[in-house]
Homo-oligomer: A and B are copies of this chain.
Amino acid sequence: MVRVPLTEDERDRGERLGRLLREARGERSMASVAAQAGISVETLRKIETGRIPTPAFFTIVALGSTLGLSLDGLVSAVDTPAPRPPAPRVA
């Protein structure tokens, strides 16, 4: 087994990431956001729905830039399953 399949936790994490990105998109259409980020609409949809649990780094960078998100804040939010993060610790 040279490349282990993704675990459930990793897929859950991908779903949380997608949910946050979808929230950040707000009223904007998928087409405009995808075009501005330089990805296809289908890819954006799969990321938002969690069907791409571990997207490429620069894909999330482009999406974060398009949506005005801080990467560090995004990661903190993903690492916090509860919708009410009290104090995101980096360590």
Binding site for B on A (CB under 8 A): 10, 13, 17, 54-61, 65, 70-72, 75, 90
Contact = CB atoms under 8 A, between A and B. Distances in A.
B54 A58 contact: yes
B56 A56 contact: yes
A54 B54 contact: no
A43 to B, nearest CB: 11
Given A70-B72, A71-B71, 20 more contacts: A10-B58, A13-B58, A17-B57, A54-B56, A54-B57, A54-B58, A54-B59, A55-B56, A55-B57, A56-B56, A56-B57, A57-B57, A57-B59, A57-B60, A61-B75, A65-B90, A70-B90, A71-B72, A71-B75, A72-B72
Nearest to A58: B54
A8 B54 CA distance: 23
Nearest to A59: B57
